[in-house]
Every structure is written in structure tokens, then in C-alpha cells.
A and B are shown apart, each in its own frame.
Chain A
Amino acid sequence: MGVLRIGHASLKVMDMAAAVQHYEKVLGLKTTMQDKAGNVYLKCWDEWDKYSLVLTPSDQAGLNHIAYKVEKDADLDALRERIEAWGVKTEMLPEGSLPATGRMLQFRLPSGHEMRLYAMKEFVGTEVGSTNPDPWPDGLKGAGAHWLDHALLMCELNPETGVNTVADNTRFMTEALDFFLTEQVLVGPNGDMQAATWMARTTTPHDIAFVGGPRSGLHHIAYFLDSWHDVLKAADVMAKNKVRIDVAPTRHGITRGETIYFFDPSGNRNETFAGLGYLAQRDRPVTTWTEDMLGSGIFYHTGDLVPSFTEVYT
């Protein structure tokens, strides 16, 4: 029971046509639905629920909310009690608040980000189906991303005022939602300040990550690719389409992921991410990165701190 996996991200975009073009042509998602308010819903070929990305028209970029799917409808009631008991207010949004989606439990993380849990979303199937499927479908566009893999949220961290919503979120996700910690960055004079954490519910190194920054926001949403070669090809696709690449193909020390960071046409950071890293398990020892090796943790090959990693986000 409980949380299964990341379900969708809802992003603000400033130019809807450009955004749809980006997510379809560069990442390979397909539009599955549009609503009267002008929101566009998309999914990857290997996902079976109706959508994993909602684009909403706005005068700014950033995250509206991040949603996780739970196994059973009754989990929403059980988790509501635990979240409220932890001290976080919740609201139950009725079925249909988002099209093709059941009731949603809405609340804010200690960092201020809106999170939603839901149990039901319309099933449409993957593009290869479930009976004698081919390994991949014909007609894939761009990077041909498999699925929305995880999100990284920037969380307010101010040591001078004692605010550390990375640590608060981590405790909340552990105690109220049964996520487990896979990796962490510890900084500060005593090396005991949790400045970044990676957390899982599935067996991948992270289903969500939190990194400390001057204000809360969206660092990136990540899409899964099979292999290092697919990451290279994705970078070719980005160059072809004049996509702004933030960090060209490389490897993270943290999670061992093979990665590209780039920006959508509104400046929301995307990642294409390959490699399952390791089997994340509740009893696997937590990996710790120290402040002096933080650069290697983030980008393993150069080991240099890239300023945009912690300074540029929406």
C-alpha cells in the first residue's frame, strides 16, 4: 500500500505552442488531452496512464504541483490521517478536479511545494501494448523518453535563520509517506546539515530529490532513457532543435545517473536520465557526500561545482 511512483508534474509555461513543440519533438511525448482552460496533457510512450505532464498557460515559469500515485483509493484516507497527524493541512479534491483523474489529496511540503496524491487515472496503455509487445514502438520522436522518472525540488535553506526545509521535507517524506533516504549531502562546520537529499519509494535511487537554495522552486523534472547512447542521441536532438543545454552529457556521482540538463522554452529545467544506478532498498546503507566532494557528487567527471546547478531554477 501507499505511494507507488511519481504520477505527473504540472508546469507553468509562458508560450504554450513552443512548450508543446518542445515536449513532443525533443522529448518524444505525445499530447493526449487538452481542457477548456487551455491546459495540455502529455505522456511518454512507455507510460500507461493518460498523462504524466500537465502544461498550464502562465506569465511565468515554474511548478504548479507534483503528483504521486498511490496503490489503493483507501490509501488516500490513511495517508491523509498520517499527514495531518504530522502537522500538515490537507484538502481532498473531488474526482474530476483534473480530467481523467480520481480524487486527489492536496497538501504543501514544508518547503512550500504543492504535492498531490491520487489513486486513479484513466488507463490508456503503453504504445507497445501488453500482449507480445515489441521493445519499442515505431515513429518515436526526438529522445523518445520512456517515462517521467523523478523531480528535484529546490527548498529554502538559510543556516543563519535556522531554516532548512530540505531536512524538514526529508523527515516529512520519511515519517508521513514512507519514502526512504538513498543519498544525502551533509555540509556546515560540523558536517551535519542536510543540504540535499535523494529519496525513493520504488527501487530506483530517487523518486524525488530536495536541494537547498535561497528560495523554493523547481530544479528539474527528469525523463528516463535506456542507455548512455540514448543520452548522447538526446543531446544530438537538442542541438538540432536549438535547445538550450545547461550541462552536456555526463555522469552524476550521486545516483550514478547518466545525464543531460537542458531548458524548456519557458526556462523550466529538464533532465534526460539513464542508468538505474543501483537497486534502492530500505536496508541499503545511505550514501553520504561531504561538502568538499560535493562537486564530484553532482558532476562526477570534472568534480567542479557548476554554479547554474544551484543558482538557476524556476
Chain B
Amino acid sequence: MQFSPRPTLQVHVAQTGECYACAGDESLLRGMLRLGRRGIPVGCVNGGCGVCKVRIVEGSVRALGPVSRAHVSADEEAQGYTLACRVAPTAAVRLEVAGRLVKPFSGASAIPARAHPPTTQPKET
């Protein structure tokens, strides 16, 4: 991994300060998962569930595939919102995590709600 010949671009997650190198031909989320890093919540990784919703604050990205309109409206898209699993960086990126995971059974339950939603277990790919 350290000697990957692929050119990479820095991705910075505003809330957590997490910073990682993402290749220009992989999604922001895949890049994070490949390195076993955290910061962006991980869901279906296929553009449908909306869990990895982010706002691109600085830098630029290109689309890799369709993003569910149920989670990113056309207006939001114009404001820089997208799903991290569906865009690849074309320049260094600074992003904010926008997805909100709502705990089920909360309020009636002994299941502790975590302030910062954990991701699913990252896997090396």
C-alpha cells in the first residue's frame, strides 16, 4: 500500500481531522476503506443508502455512478452535497460528513447511543 504507483490526492475530513490519501480512480469512501481508516460512515458503498453523505467544502470530485435522489436532492447536489462512495477526487478534497445516522429504539432502550456513529468494520480490499 505504501508504494502504490497510483497517484493519490489528500482527503481531509473536517469534523474528525482525519486525513488520508485517495487514488484518483477510486471513490472517497473506497480510498478510506482500503487504508482501514475511519471518519466517513460506511453503508452500502453503492450509492443507495445515503449513510456516507458528505459536503465537498474544498477541492473537486468527479462522479463515478448514480447517487440516490432519495438522499441527495438536485438542490443539495448544487451546494456540494454528494455520497462519498460515488465520487473520486480530481484535486485535494476537504469534506464535511453530512449523513445523520438515527439510532433505532432510542429513548426506550438501554442501547447506548454513540455521539459519533461508528462505521462498519473497514476491510482491506
List A residues at the B interface (Cβ < 8 Å). 14-15, 59-62, 157-160, 187-189, 193, 195, 211-214, 242, 244-246, 263-269, 291-292, 294, 305-308, 310-314
CA distance A195 to B51 in the complex (A): 22
Find out whether the CB atom of B120 lies under 8 angstroms from the CB atom of A314.
Answer: no
CA distance A31 to B92 in the complex (A): 43
CA distance A267 to B50 in the complex (A): 9
Beyond A263-B44, A267-B43, A269-B44, is A314–B68 a contact (Cβ under 8 Å)?
A: yes
Find out whether the CB atom of A187 lies under 8 angstroms from the CB atom of B108.
Answer: yes
Find out whether the CB atom of A157 lies under 8 angstroms from the CB atom of B105.
Answer: yes
Q: Does B7 contact A (CB under 8 A)?
A: no
CA distance A313 to B50 in the complex (A): 9
Apart from A159-B106, A307-B117, A308-B42, 9 more pairs, CB < 8 Å: A60-B68, A62-B48, A159-B107, A159-B109, A193-B108, A195-B104, A214-B102, A267-B48, A312-B120
| Those of B68-125 within 8 Å (CB) of chain A | 68-71, 101-111, 117-120, 123, 125
Q: List 25 A-B contacts (CB under 8 A).
A: A14-B65, A14-B66, A14-B68, A59-B69, A60-B69, A61-B68, A62-B48, A159-B106, A187-B105, A188-B105, A242-B125, A244-B46, A266-B66, A266-B68, A267-B44, A267-B47, A268-B48, A291-B105, A291-B110, A305-B111, A307-B119, A308-B42, A308-B43, A311-B51, A312-B44
CA distance A305 to B102 in the complex (A): 15
Q: Which of chain B's residues have a CB closer than 8 A to the CB of A213?
A: 102, 104
Taking the nearest CB of chain B, how far is it from the CB of A225, in angstroms?
Answer: 22
Q: Does B45 contact A (CB under 8 A)?
A: yes
Q: Which of chain A's residues have a CB closer than 8 A to the CB of B107?
A: 158-160
Find out whether the CB atom of B46 lies under 8 angstroms from the CB atom of A263.
Answer: yes
Q: Does B49 contact A (CB under 8 A)?
A: yes
CA distance A244 to B52 in the complex (A): 14
Find out whether the CB atom of B46 lies under 8 angstroms from the CB atom of A311.
Answer: no
Taking the nearest CB of chain A, how far is it from the CB of B53, in angstroms?
Answer: 12
Find out whether the CB atom of A314 lies under 8 angstroms from the CB atom of B49.
Answer: yes
Taking the nearest CB of chain B, how far is it from the CB of A210, in angstroms?
Answer: 12
List B residues at the A interface (Cβ < 8 Å). 42-49, 51, 65-66, 68-71, 101-111, 117-120, 123, 125
Partner of A60, one of B65, B70, B119: B70
Cβ-Cβ contact count across A and B, 8 Å cutoff: 117
CA distance A251 to B35 in the complex (A): 28
Q: Which of chain B's residues have a CB closer than 8 A to the CB of A214?
A: 102-104
Find out whether the CB atom of B48 lies under 8 angstroms from the CB atom of A306.
Answer: no
Find out whether the CB atom of B120 lies under 8 angstroms from the CB atom of A307.
Answer: yes
Q: Which of chain B's residues have a CB closer than 8 A to the CB of A211?
A: 104
Q: Which of chain A's residues have a CB closer than 8 A to the CB of B119?
A: 307
Which interface residue of B65, B105, B117, B125 has the most chain A CB atoms within 10 A? B105
CA distance A264 to B48 in the complex (A): 9
Find out whether the CB atom of B70 lies under 8 angstroms from the CB atom of A159.
Answer: no
Query: Who on chain B is nearest to A246 by CB?
Result: B120
Query: Who on chain B is nearest to A292 by CB?
Result: B110
CA distance A291 to B120 in the complex (A): 21
Q: Which of chain B's residues have a CB closer than 8 A to the CB of A14?
A: 47-48, 65-66, 68
CA distance A61 to B101 in the complex (A): 18
Q: Which of chain A's residues have a CB closer than 8 A to the CB of B71?
A: 60
CA distance A169 to B66 in the complex (A): 33
Taking the nearest CB of chain A, how far is it from the CB of B109, in angstroms?
Answer: 6
Taking the nearest CB of chain B, how far is it from the CB of A131, in angstroms?
Answer: 42
Taking the nearest CB of chain B, how far is it from the CB of A267, in angstroms?
Answer: 2
Taking the nearest CB of chain B, how far is it from the CB of A304, in angstroms?
Answer: 10
